[in-house]
Amino acid sequence: MTFYKAVEQKDANPELTPPSDTKTDTSATPAPAPSQPPQPTSVDPNTTLPSTGYFVQVAAVSKEEDAQALVDALKKKEYPAFVAAQNNADKLFRVQLGPFAEAKDAEAMRTKLIGDGYNPILKK
């Protein structure tokens, strides 16, 4: 019950309160089908990234904005690109494609990227 009392407190932390001039989205979200579990409304991309198989890494950059710009450029060329979860050891943002079940599929994607002017590497 202390959780609910804490939520109801009037003197909430102002850093956690959204600005009052922000418009709220009033469009209705369709309810999920009764046979399926409800889907989350916002997904953290770091929690849904693939973690097994072969990957083709196009770049590892220090700025998230640079990584996202490269992902956007690759997606415009219809590549399955994403920013991999950040490694705490080096804090780089890795732009990767995949996953590929077979090494030959990843190698074919790597060859295609080389043809488009990138210098990718294969990772498992």
pLDDT tens track for 56-76: 999 999 999 999 999 999 999
Output the CA angle 111-95-98, nearest 5 degrees.
Answer: 55
Q: Where are the domains of the chain?
A: 56-124
pLDDT at position 9 is: 44
Indicate the range of 3-17, 50-64, 71-85, 94-108 predicted with least confidence.
Answer: 3-17
117 Rama sector, left if φ>0, alpha if ψ -120 to 50, beta otherwise: left
Separation of alpha carbons 115 and 52, rounded Å: 26
Residue 95 near residue 83 (C-beta atoms within 8 A): yes
- The class level of CATH for 56-124 reads alpha beta
pLDDT at position 50 is: 54
pLDDT tens track for 6-41: 444 444 444 444 454 544 454 455 555 544 443 333
Q: What is the pTM of this model?
A: 0.58
Average pLDDT over residues 106-114: 96
